[in-house]
Amino acid sequence: MAAMHFSVIQFPGSNCDHDCLHVLGAVLKQKASLVWHQQAQLPRGTDCVVVPGGFSYGDYLRCGAIARFAPVMDDVRRHAARGGMVLGICNGFQILAEAGLLPGALLRNRSLKFICDYTHLRVEHARSAFTSLARPGQVLRVPIAHGEGNYFCDAATLRRLEERGQVAFRYCEPDGRVTPDANPNGSLDSIAGVTNEQGNVLGMMPHPERVSEAALGGEDGRIIFESMLAALCRR
């Protein structure tokens, strides 16, 4: 089986780009390359785009607001429109929301403080290309590190997200119960990750790349990358 090609976008201020590159290349043994934000096109043969975490452009104006205008984002949009897979993690989620590739917006944390801690995520379903190897209701322990991870959308959008199965993950207790105390940032309906309507674009605030090998203290995040790889291999 030929290796899939993952392109990891690199902005000024990205700080999780090499983490993603390591997981995709060294851990999963796939072809993975960094793509500078000023490039007008993704590398030929790109199967999946990863928009990593960090503080693109210093989060000036608001997180993701400047990065959405980077030259490479036009080709990311074209890639998504063709059905190509796109994963946005933390700042990557913020960028994809600002770029209109995902519904909703990421606001300041309820506490108005930066939070760096472990959270538990409940997998809402296994129909997504990003969760296909997980069990519905499975709980993953994945860290967060953000100041603006408070997911928000209007009531009509939330209803559509629920009806179309676009909510991928919710913050929860270790036993899977969704409670206010388990919600670290005030996200609407405890939402930690959503997909677009087509299901080929996912944004999530927690960092699965930071728990994808035992040496880092956990492997729960690896199932997301392995689900993506399995989906790509089925195509």
The question of whether 125 is a catalytic residue gets the answer no
Half-sphere exposure of 136 (CA within 13 A, CB side): 7
The question of whether 173 is a catalytic residue gets the answer no
Spatial distance between the Cα atoms of 149 and 106, rounded to a whole number of angstroms: 5
**What is the rounded radius of gyration, in angstroms, for the C-alpha atoms of the chain?**
16
The question of whether 48 is a catalytic residue gets the answer no
Q: Can you tell me which residue has the tokens 């590190």?
A: 145
Distances (CA, A) of 203 to 59, 97, 193, 200, 233: 17, 8, 5, 10, 21
Phi, psi of 82 (to 5 degrees): -80, 0
The catalytic residue among 16, 20, 48, 90 is 90
**Which residues are known catalytic residues?**
90, 207, 209
